[in-house]
Every structure is written in C-alpha cells, then in structure tokens.
Structure 1
Amino acid sequence: MHEAAGAPGGLAGQSVEALSEGGALARALPQFRPREAQLDLTEAVADAFERREVLLAEAGTGTGKTYAYLVPALLSGMKTILSTGTRALQDQLYHRDLPRVRDALGVGLKSALLKGRANYLCRYRTEQAKGDPRIVPGAQTALFQRIVAWGGRTRMGDLAELEALPDDSPLLPLVTSTADNCLGTECPFWNDCFVVQARQRAQAADIVVVNHHLLLADLALKQEGFGEILPGAQAFVVDEAHQLPELAAQFFGEGIGARPLVELARDALAECKGVSGALAALQTPARDLEQAVRVLRAALEPLPPRATQARALADPDASDAFETLSSSLQALQLALAAWRDSAPGLDACHARAVEFSARLGRWRIERDFDNDAFDDELPADDDVRWYEATPRGFRLQRTPLDVSGPLRSHRERSHAAWVFTSATLAVDGGFDHVATRLGLDDPRTLLLQSPFDWKSQALCYLPPNLPQPAAREFTGAMLAAVRPVLEASNGRAFLLFASHRALREAAEALRDGPWPLFVQGEAPRHVLLQRFRESGNGVLLGAASFREGVDVVGAALTVVVIDKLPFAAPDDPVFEARLEAIRRSGGNPFFDEQLPQAVIALKQGAGRLIRSETDHGVLVLCDPRLTGKGYGRVFLDSLPPLPITRTLAEVESFLAATTTA
C-alpha cells in the first residue's frame, strides 16, 4: 500500500484553500481553526475524487474529518453519497454540518437525507392499525393518536420528528413497513408514500446522506437483482468505515425471526377486513403459526443463547419445534394461496409466507442453498448458520464469512471514487486487516494522528500486580486498583467492561461509592449519557456496545477505565467459523483476525477520553497481558502517543494538576 500524495491543484487546491487560514470556512464560522491534519485529509479526499480512486484514511479524534470530506464533496459538483455509522450521526451530518459548510462555501447544491423504510410512517399500515387490539388502551392509544395526527401534517414522514416515540415502541411495526410487507405499487397510498418521496428527492439531489444500514441494504438488493434504493453516484464517502465489514456480513446473508413471523400471522388476519369468508379460513393457520413461534422460543430456552444451527438441530425438542414451525408456515401459505387474488394485502402476505418458508428451509438444510446472485462473489457454502434467542423471541441467521468479494464487485461496477475513513482503522500503523475485509486491493492510504497534545493532555495508567483476566478474582482486584483513581478524579469516569457479568459485578461493588452511578441497561442510552454529563462527578458503566458513541467533552469525563483487552467472545458462532476458515486456508487466526479486531476495539474505547483541545484525562488499562505478552506492544503502539505509568502516585498528581489548572 502507498501513502496519499500529490501537490495541491484543481479540486485539491480549492479544498485546501477553503479550509486554510483566511479561507471560506474561517471567514464564515467564528469558532473554526485550520488544522494541518485536516488539510492533509481534504487534499487526499479531493485527489481521490478527481482520480476516481479508493482512499483508506484514519483520522484521529480532533482532525475534523467531516469538514475535510464535505468541502471537496461540495466543491466537486459530483453526485456524492455520504454514509455514516448511525442514524444519529446521519441527522447531525445533514442538519448541522452540511448546511454550515454549504453556506460557508456559497454553493447551491441540492442535498437529501435518505433513511431506511423503517424510519418513515407507512400510511397504509397506520390506517390498518386503527382499532388493532395490539394497541394497549391508555398510553399506547394516546401515542398512536398522536402519530395519526402528526401523519396528517408531516411533509417528510420521518419518525425522528416525533420525539415522544421511543426507539423500541411496540407501535413502530404497526405504523412502518418492511421490504417483506410493503405492497409496492399495489398500495392505495403509493402516490403519497413517504419512502417513495424520499427516494425521489435522493434521485434529484447532488449530495445524499445515508447510513451504513441503508447503503448495505442497497448493495444486497443489487446482488439479488431487485434494483437499487440509492441513486447512482460518482463518489462515495464511508465515514466510521470500521463498522462496515460486520454490518455487510448481516446484509449479504439472510435471516428470519420471531417478530416477522408473528407479524405475518397477525397481518394476514388484519387483511381479512372486507373479504367475506377469509377470516374463517385463515384464523386457525395464523394462530397455529403464532403458537409454533412460542413453542420454538421455549424449546431454545435450555440451549446457549447464541450458537450454531447444528447445536440447535441436535436438541430433540428444538428439532421438533423447528419441524412444527415449518409445517405451520406452510399451512398458512397454502391457506393464503386460495385468497391471494381477493386483496393486494392478502397477496402480499402469501408472498411473505412463501419467502419465509424458503428462508427457514434453507437455514435448516445441511448444506447451504444455491443462489445464482452470489455464485461469482460468495461461494454458497462459505457461510455459517446460527441462531440467537432473545428475551422476547429468536433470530435464525445465515452469515457469510467473507464479504470482501461482494463489496469489491459493487465498488468496481460503480466506477466511482470511494473514500473510507474513521478514527480507528489502522493496526500498529498498517491498514492490511481492514483493507482485506473491505475487499480493497492496494488502496491509497493515509494515517493522520490526532492533533491533540496527548503528552500533556493525557496519561495511560497500567495498574501493577493484577491477576490474569481469566482469574475468578480479576474483577474484584481490578476495581480495588481503580477505586483510588476514582477518588483522585472525584468520579467523572467511564468504566468499560468486556462482559455484562463483570459490568453487573462492578455496579454492585460501586453502589456504596460517593459518586452517582449510571449503569448501561438501567435507562436508555441517551438518557444515561445526559444524566452523566449533568451530574458533574458521575461514574458511567458500560459494556462493548458503549465503546462508540460516548462523546462527553469537558471535565465530566476525566478517566476511562478498560478492564480487559476486547478480544471477541470465542463462543460467537460467526467469529469461530471465521477463525476456522482462516486456519483451513493456512493463515494464523490469532494474528490475522483476533488481534487486529481487538486492537481496533481498544482504540474505540480509548478514544472516549480526549474529545477536545482542552480535555485532560487518564486512560486506565487493567489487562496485565499488555506487559506480560509479546502482542501487548501491538496494542500500546496502536494507541495515541500518550505517556505510560505504572505508579498510582503519578496518576494522582496528574489528576490533581489538571483539576486545579
């Protein structure tokens, strides 16, 4: 791989000038300050745009990578897709960052925000849900009425406009559509469909902001020849690109779950309105399907919550439950076949039953199915089939082990420029691991360190004399070593745990502490973070899913503690299958997969500490393997250049100095 290079000129020169001292951004935005790393990144992005090349760029926290890619995207005039990691980042990019840069540059390009269909109100399903017995009288009824009233006046139909609607509301499946239950052009509300209108706006826009889920759903649909959601583009910018391989594995596979099956049964009965005789014919098979779903969930209860298909089918009770589910699904499919011409909704339910029955059959067979769409890029048996039992249901999934082929194929067919960027892509200064997983062959690369002054702003503490992470007493010993740090910082800490068991143990041990405690799972994520920020001296406890998205600037977060090196769970069926595939091909599973993945995850957690030029803090890494194992140096060398100490007194002195500064 070679380094990004090229003297400013053309688009690159214009982009660098806009972000330089006295440039368009500095003139328009009072708080804007030029940054050398940002100028390097915008030059590389502009160069990739002009040459229609691939750029893989790590830009450390504080680089200002959003402006660095927005400026060339807007100045180029090219049709550009900007993809972010989450819907929250997508909204921030579209509603805050993009307008600021566009106004500063004085360009009049059209932009559009495009989300997946689950984010938009479905007029048809909302109409069908009126009077639905699943809407519990009281608060749910009142909220549903608010949704209906809002649906009559909204222009965009984006459910994010409804702040009172929780992300996990049971009303959401009733008022949104899925690719499976959408009636398409047969829908009586097709001409007023919010999803259709959003796609039309995207087709007409110069800059389209999406999230990775939508980007990948589009690629997966193209694999199967169903057309595209996103308009064709000349340039793609994939921010938070480290998330893409894992998400791609979901989208290039297929799944079936308890909720879609139950929704099929209930939708089939709801569609019987006005069709004489249909309810009598469909009631029994629909109820049998719901019962079969419940029986299968109960049969999975004694088994591991997440394991391979072989593990589930080896259990007699679970195997029988799968057979019953298959029979029930086929019975409903047969019953619907007789009524499919009576109403578009019943026809759509029949199509769903056919598809779900096929997915279930493919999941249960000993060898994976033949899918022509994947022949050239993803061998049919290069996957793992597994299940996951959730508190209220289950998921059956087929996941490909390698998505580099489909990703490479789509990228090459697009003939577009592609920029992949994130604060966490490189491992020990190299991009080989992520490039391989993304299907990038010899991309142009750029590694930019965070512009923060890590040597004065931060300190890394490696507590001495801790037991090995597998020891029973590890969490207790780790907390004993961390407590003096929390006392020195007066709380103001974020503790990140490798397991939920350790998280619970820590929460129990710290309940008697003098600091307000905020524990993942005890309140919605955004609520926890808001309370933590406002507390002034709180202690936030989280597990793996909190490694990203905790963005707390200022003194409220002064200490980040990571209990163990974040190696993926060895009992994860997909990860274990991936390691076995590497082993079969002659590779080294630890150095080729486990270590790089853990390094990137550690960098994500450590990145929560310093979020601005004025932040100060201590990173506490409690895993003794950092100094006791040879590979520990790879982790330390991949972190920002912060000083390391093993002395508690030095930590206390640092915190005392930063508190009084």
Structure 2
Amino acid sequence: MLESLVSSNRAVSRLADKVATVFAKDGLLSRYVRGYRQRAVQQEMAGHVADTLSSKGKLVLEAGTGVGKTFAYLVPALLSGKQVIVSTGSKNLQEQLFYKDLPLLLEMLRLDVPVSILKGRSNYLCQLLMQSQMEAAFSRDERLLDDLLKLNQFASLTEDGDLGNLTGVAEDSPAIAMVASSQDSCTGQRCAFYEACFTRKARQRAMNARLIVVNHHLFFADRVLKDTGFAELLPDVDAVIFDEAHLLPDIAIGYFGSQLSTRSLQKLLDNISRLAKGELGDTEGLKLLPARVGLSLENWQQEVRRIGSSDFRELLKVKSAAVAAGELMRELAALEALVFAHLGRDETLDDIAVKLAETRQKLSRFFACDDPGSAYGMDMGERHFLLRISPIDIAKACAALFGPDTAWVFTSATLQVERSLGFFTRELGIESSREVLLDSPFDYPNQSLLCVPRRLGSVTNQEAMVQRLTEVCLKLIRAAKGRTFILFTSHRMMEAVARALVSRCHYPLLVQGQGSKQQLLSKFRQLGEAVLLGTGSFWEGVDVRGKLLSCVIIDKLPFASPDDSLYRARASAVQARGGDPFLQISLPQAVIALKQGAGRLIRDETDRGVLVICDNRLVNRPYGQAFLQSLPPMRRTRSLEAACEFLEAID
C-alpha cells in the first residue's frame, strides 16, 4: 500500500514538473506561440489538471475568461502518456482543438501520437444514401440537383466524409440532410459501402487514438449504448476532460431520459408505403395501414394544439386527447403486427419492423405517464412534435458514470454561483472532487462597466418594456457606433424589438433567423459596425474580440419558464423535501446563464466595453446579489449617460 502511494506521488510530481516547464516564462509556449504571456492562473490550472490525470481523481475547476484553459488541459493530457478523451459542448470548439490547437502543441512538444476527432454520425456523409439520391436525381429540382452533384463530387474526393469540410453548398441546404448518415437509414454490415463507410472509419480511428476529441452529446450517447449492451463508439480511456462543462447537466437529462420525434414515426410510415408500392405490392394492408396511422397521428397532434398544453400529465386529463392517443396506439399496434407478419420477405422491411416496434414502445411509455421520477413534456413544431421523458434527478446516474478507474476533469468559465461550485457538483452527483476557482486575469474594473439603467419600469409590462428597451438600445448603439450584441430571453421580445429598431437604427441590423449562427457572426465581423439581435444560442460559444464588439445588452434576467414541465416536476420534488425551488433550481440556473451572456463582452486583455442589463430586479431584489457576486468585478453604474460616455471614449 505504501509503495503504491509513493509511486503515485512520484508520477504526479513527474508530470507536474514537465508541465510547469512548458508554461515557464522562457518555456516552450513562450517560444512557439506569438504574443504569449505567462499567466500564473494558466500555469496553476495546468498543474491541477496534471495532478488529477496522475492520481485518477476528480477536478471541478472554473477558469474565468482569459485564463487560457485550452492549453492548460491539452498540454498535461498530451504529456501524460495516457489515453484521454476531450469532450466539448460545441462543434466550433471541437474543430478548433483538433485542427488548430493540437497540431501546434504536437509540433511544439515534439510528440508523434495519434489524435482523432469523432463527431455524431449526422456529420458524416453516407455513401449508400448518396448513391440512392443520385439514382433519383432526375426527379429533383435544379437547385437541389446542383447541390447533390457537388455532394457527390465531395464524396469522391474526401478522405473522412466530414460534412463540416464541405464548401460550395449552403449549410442549410436540404441536400445535406438527404445524404447525412443516420441510425434510421444504417444497414450495418449488410451495406455495400460498409468497408468504406466514413462513420465506421472515424470510429475506428478514435478507438486507436491516444487523444480523442468528441462532444458532450456523443460522449453520453456512447455511455448509454454501452449500458444497454450495444457496440462501443469510444474506448474505455484513462481520463476524460470536459470543457464547457456547464452544459453537461442539460445534456445528461436528455440522454438518461427518452425522446421521440413524430417526424421519425412519419418517416417510417412513408418508407412502408414506398415498399407497398413496389416489392410488397401484393399486400393490401401495407398500402392502407400506414395512411391510417398517419391520419391518427395528425388527429392527435391537432387535438394537442387545440388544447394548447405541453405537459403530458395535464394533457391526458383531457378526455378528447386521451381518446385520440388511444386511437393512435391501436392503429400503430395493428400496423406493427402486420409488418411482423411479413418478416423475411424484404431486408428493408425487417429493419423497419425493429424500428417500428421501438417507436411504439416509446410512444406507449409517453402516453402511460406512470413514472413519478420523470417529467413528461413536448416541443410543438410547425409540423412535428418532439416528445420528451426527462429524469427529475440525474445525480445517481451520473455518479455511476464518473467511476473511480478514470480521471475526470470538469472545466468551464461559468460553473460557480456566489463563489461556490456546489450547485454544479450536486446536479451531476460528483463526490470527493477537488474544487478550484481561478479568476480571469483581465482588469475588469478598468476594461468594463456594468450598467442597470434607471426608470426601466415593470418587466411584466410587455408593450412598455419593448418601447423602453428600444429607447435604451438606440442610445447605446449610437454611442457604441454599432458594435453591439442585444441578447434576449425570448424570441417574441427579440422580434418585437427588431421591428421597433429597423426604421430607427442607422447601423446594419442582423437578427437571429436571417441566416445560420456562423453566417450572422461572419457578417457582424465583416461589417464592423453592426448590431446583432439573438436569443439562447448567441449567449455562449461566441468569441468576437477587439473593437468589433463594444456593448452587450441583455433584456432581462434569464430565469427558466415556470411552466416548463421539467422545472415543475423538479420543483415539486424539492418542495416535497422541504426545500425552496427558487433558491435551489431557478436562481442558480439563471446565474450561470447570465454569466454566459455577460462573458461575450470582454474576450481579450485589450478589450473594453459596457454590459447593460435591463432588469431592475438585479438591484432591487435581495436575490440580485447572487448575480452580482457571480459576475466579473466590473465597475457599476445606474446612469445610462455614464454608459454612453464610456462607449464614446472607446476608439
């Protein structure tokens, strides 16, 4: 026992020493990275990561903006000699790590180790789907055909089939979805392209790599598959490092729960109908039943829309909805029985039979609504619904996932609430972890100003709020000469303010929905004096440095809707234990969300700017202190004029 402890301490010391020399004032980073400045907080973080990788412990570490956390965990990971998974929350960061940061570090450290990037299967081109689309190309319209021809050329030239590297085809082109790999269309080893399959080869490279860059969704999908006995996507590694770890709780809820899109059911029905018109045309029932199921599905969706509730438990109390659900299940069971009666006649129908049975079982669980430990809800799209069963508490499931035989590192710029990491660790069931807070090295008191304008009025008066928010925005936009983000907590408010600004703002307006996130950000950078209006996705993962972004305006504190089915279920569970749902759920979640939005402003040591939060509750409610204590130490003012003067002084 003593020998093992001594050996472990030596390993920790050796790796920590190696890492320290890289980050030293005259170390490798100072020689290889242009403009590199030694940062004590970065070196401290790298040391904590090195210790954790060597001792197989758990590290939960908040690293404020500017710490340089990417190199602080990649250098120890590469020098450790261990097999490591690095998991990110966004595709952008995943690609930055693999295509930019890792090649630089491998060259700098003179290491020749295999590294790999693995994305979700929908990011890879499927050769079988590509072939079938080209066979039917004559029936496509001219624009779609042009995109398919470009995709076909891409398929013949690409080595990895990663659709992220595709150029010349718009990222929202329907042609991409038509050839992207999917579980529903995969025929496995029976596929004529099995050996050449891009998805299969990407997984194989990942199994053999020393450092594998994935995203959180893929990581949890892999663990759920392993728990159910399916084939592995990722190897069992020595260490896992989660960057953007603040996203993990919401993602984990999705994977430990269950979800079903009515779009996938409709796709199965369409595939059965297609077979009934061809190879299985002698079976009358296969021609009729899919249409009957489709009609029952549409009737049920129309009934749900009429009632207007997204909470399953409330919905099924309404007799008409329960009757429509029962009719759908009867028709679906009849179709499943008929499909299974024809097993062995056609391989495609055999695949459909399995997926149809899984779909009916999922739908049955949704309609049963009999798990008190879960919330049942749905997102209603224009044509299809996404049905969700979400566990109220994921702590136990996650605790089992983060086992003692692996080193675990959780890091993000936004984990703490009022200088405590307890909310994050409790949500994920993380025990016996080292908890570290590393503040940003930026000079926030001199670089930035936080303004909560006076005379905003009640946040519950929508019409007055739009008018007042518009006036505030116009003053700030003029002072900042454009160069502004306006972040909203709802699409409705964003659209209302956009309509109010369009005829009064003399700077280019970019509104979420006018293009993809990356297209809008690219335009914002190119224009140089633009104003961008966005909701959720623009609150995080956006990095605009320098004078291009001088002002960030947030419409109100980002509390989750109290009508959300998951929130209501979790709140009920907290109340049953004698707790306060607001203090234990709503407030911590809102604090972390606000920190993400505020983090868009100061991205560099030379950045200067103003953060404006248009919500009086930040200063006149007791819980406002929780937000203020969790934000960076900016100078504060309630004077809109002072905020404008600060902006006007930015060259």
Pick the TM interval, shorter chain.
over 0.9
**Who is 2:6 aligned against?**
none
Does the 8 A contact of 2:416 with 2:424 survive in 1? Answer: yes
1:307 maps onto 2:294 in alignment: no
| 1:108-166 deviation digits (Å, cap 9, x = unpaired) | 11001111111112223333444559974221122223223322332212111223444
1:556 maps onto 2:560 in alignment: no
Q: Secondary structure at 2:72's aligned position in 1?
A: helix
Q: Secondary structure at 2:99's aligned position in 1?
A: helix
Q: Take 1:564 and 1:366, find their aligned partners in 2: how far apart are those partners? A: 34
Does the 8 A contact of 2:12 with 2:55 survive in 1? Answer: no
| 1:480-517 deviation digits (Å, cap 9, x = unpaired) | 23432222112211111122221122112211221111
**Who is 1:464 aligned against?**
454
Using the TM superposition, give the Cα deviation of residue 440 of structure 1 relative to its aligned residue in structure 2, in angstroms.
0.5
**Who is 2:390 aligned against?**
399
Q: Secondary structure at 2:578's aligned position in 1?
A: coil
Using the TM superposition, give the Cα deviation of residue 40 of structure 1 relative to its aligned residue in structure 2, in angstroms.
0.8
**Who is 2:192 aligned against?**
188
Q: Which amino acid aligns with 2:598?
A: A
Q: Secondary structure at 2:119's aligned position in 1?
A: coil
Q: Secondary structure at 1:510's aligned position in 2?
A: helix
Q: Take 1:231 and 1:578, find their aligned partners in 2: how far apart are those partners? A: 34
Q: Take 1:136 and 1:256, find their aligned partners in 2: how far apart are those partners? A: 30
Q: Take 1:116 and 1:181, find their aligned partners in 2: how far apart are those partners? A: 15
Does the 8 A contact of 1:300 with 1:389 survive in 2? Answer: no
1:530 maps onto 2:533 in alignment: no
1:458–1:7 distance in 2 versus 1, CA, 3 Å: farther
| 1:530-563 deviation digits (Å, cap 9, x = unpaired) | 1122222211111223211222112121011111
Q: Which amino acid aligns with 1:174?
A: M
1:331 maps onto 2:334 in alignment: yes
Does the 8 A contact of 1:254 with 1:399 survive in 2? Answer: yes
> 439-448 or 471-480, which moves further after superposition?
471-480
**Who is 1:78 aligned against?**
82
Q: Take 1:336 and 1:119, find their aligned partners in 2: how far apart are those partners? A: 31
| 1:176-211 deviation digits (Å, cap 9, x = unpaired) | 343344222333332222221111111110000000
Q: Which amino acid aligns with 1:336?
A: V
**Who is 1:322 aligned against?**
325
Among 362, 365, 376, the alignment partner of 2:365 is: 362
1:216 maps onto 2:220 in alignment: yes
Does the 8 A contact of 1:272 with 1:346 survive in 2? Answer: no
1:253–1:548 distance in 2 versus 1, CA, 3 Å: same
Q: Percent identity?
A: 38
Q: How does 1:44-59 map to 2 (within 5 A)?
A: 44-59=48-63
**Who is 2:31 aligned against?**
27
Does the 8 A contact of 1:45 with 1:55 survive in 2? Answer: yes
Question: How many residues of Structure 1 are paired with residues of Structure 2 in the alignment?
Answer: 641
Q: Take 1:469 and 1:635, find their aligned partners in 2: how far apart are those partners? A: 17
Unaligned runs of 5+ in 2: 1-8
Q: Take 2:641 and 2:278, find their aligned partners in 1: how far apart are those partners? A: 77
Using the TM superposition, give the Cα deviation of residue 418 of structure 1 relative to its aligned residue in structure 2, in angstroms.
0.5
**Who is 1:102 aligned against?**
106
Q: Take 1:507 and 1:125, find their aligned partners in 2: how far apart are those partners? A: 41
**Who is 2:346 aligned against?**
343
Q: Secondary structure at 2:403's aligned position in 1?
A: helix
**Who is 1:618 aligned against?**
610
1:173–1:492 distance in 2 versus 1, CA, 3 Å: closer
Q: How does 1:187-586 map to 2 (within 5 A)?
A: 187-270=191-274, 275=279, 277=281, 282-304=286-308, 307-368=310-371, 381-412=372-403, 415-472=405-462, 473-511=464-502, 512-586=504-578
Q: Secondary structure at 1:586's aligned position in 2?
A: coil
Q: Take 1:521 and 1:342, find their aligned partners in 2: how far apart are those partners? A: 46
1:328–1:653 distance in 2 versus 1, CA, 3 Å: same
Q: Secondary structure at 1:464's aligned position in 2?
A: coil
1:581–1:341 distance in 2 versus 1, CA, 3 Å: same
Using the TM superposition, give the Cα deviation of residue 316 of structure 1 relative to its aligned residue in structure 2, in angstroms.
4.3
TM-score (norm 1): 0.92
1:133–1:271 distance in 2 versus 1, CA, 3 Å: farther
Among 617, 620, 628, the alignment partner of 1:628 is: 620
1:314–1:134 distance in 2 versus 1, CA, 3 Å: farther
1:262–1:278 distance in 2 versus 1, CA, 3 Å: farther
Does the 8 A contact of 2:243 with 2:411 survive in 1? Answer: yes
Q: Which amino acid aligns with 1:580?
A: S
Q: Secondary structure at 1:192's aligned position in 2?
A: coil
Using the TM superposition, give the Cα deviation of residue 294 of structure 1 relative to its aligned residue in structure 2, in angstroms.
3.2
RMSD of aligned alpha carbons: 2.3
Using the TM superposition, give the Cα deviation of residue 363 of structure 1 relative to its aligned residue in structure 2, in angstroms.
0.8
1:133–1:400 distance in 2 versus 1, CA, 3 Å: farther
Using the TM superposition, give the Cα deviation of residue 171 of structure 1 relative to its aligned residue in structure 2, in angstroms.
3.6
Q: Take 1:432 and 1:254, find their aligned partners in 2: how far apart are those partners? A: 27
Does the 8 A contact of 2:469 with 2:497 survive in 1? Answer: no
> 426-435 or 402-411, which moves further after superposition?
402-411
Using the TM superposition, give the Cα deviation of residue 101 of structure 1 relative to its aligned residue in structure 2, in angstroms.
1.1
Q: Which amino acid aligns with 2:313?
A: A
Q: Take 1:214 and 1:474, find their aligned partners in 2: how far apart are those partners? A: 41
Q: Secondary structure at 1:152's aligned position in 2?
A: helix
Q: How does 1:588-607 map to 2 (within 5 A)?
A: 588-607=580-599
Does the 8 A contact of 1:8 with 1:16 survive in 2? Answer: no
1:457–1:82 distance in 2 versus 1, CA, 3 Å: same
Does the 8 A contact of 1:85 with 1:243 survive in 2? Answer: yes
1:96–1:85 distance in 2 versus 1, CA, 3 Å: same
| 1:250-297 deviation digits (Å, cap 9, x = unpaired) | 111111112111221223345569745467552322333333333333
Q: Take 2:611 and 2:429, find their aligned partners in 1: how far apart are those partners? A: 34
**Who is 1:60 aligned against?**
64
Does the 8 A contact of 1:278 with 1:339 survive in 2? Answer: no
> 627-636 or 518-527, which moves further after superposition?
518-527
Q: Secondary structure at 2:223's aligned position in 1?
A: helix
Q: Which amino acid aligns with 2:147?
A: L
Q: Which amino acid aligns with 2:382?
A: P
Q: Take 1:285 and 1:164, find their aligned partners in 2: how far apart are those partners? A: 42
Q: Which amino acid aligns with 1:429?
A: R
Q: Which amino acid aligns with 2:500?
A: A
Q: Which amino acid aligns with 1:254?
A: S
Q: Take 2:117 and 2:603, find their aligned partners in 1: how far apart are those partners? A: 27
Q: Take 1:563 and 1:127, find their aligned partners in 2: how far apart are those partners? A: 49
Q: Take 1:135 and 1:287, find their aligned partners in 2: how far apart are those partners? A: 24
Does the 8 A contact of 1:269 with 1:279 survive in 2? Answer: no
Using the TM superposition, give the Cα deviation of residue 528 of structure 1 relative to its aligned residue in structure 2, in angstroms.
1.4
1:309–1:131 distance in 2 versus 1, CA, 3 Å: farther
**Who is 1:640 aligned against?**
632
Does the 8 A contact of 1:54 with 1:443 survive in 2? Answer: yes
Does the 8 A contact of 2:312 with 2:369 survive in 1? Answer: no
Q: Secondary structure at 2:385's aligned position in 1?
A: strand
1:271–1:52 distance in 2 versus 1, CA, 3 Å: farther
Q: Take 2:403 and 2:337, find their aligned partners in 1: how far apart are those partners? A: 43
**Who is 1:375 aligned against?**
none
| 1:437-458 deviation digits (Å, cap 9, x = unpaired) | 1111131011111111111110
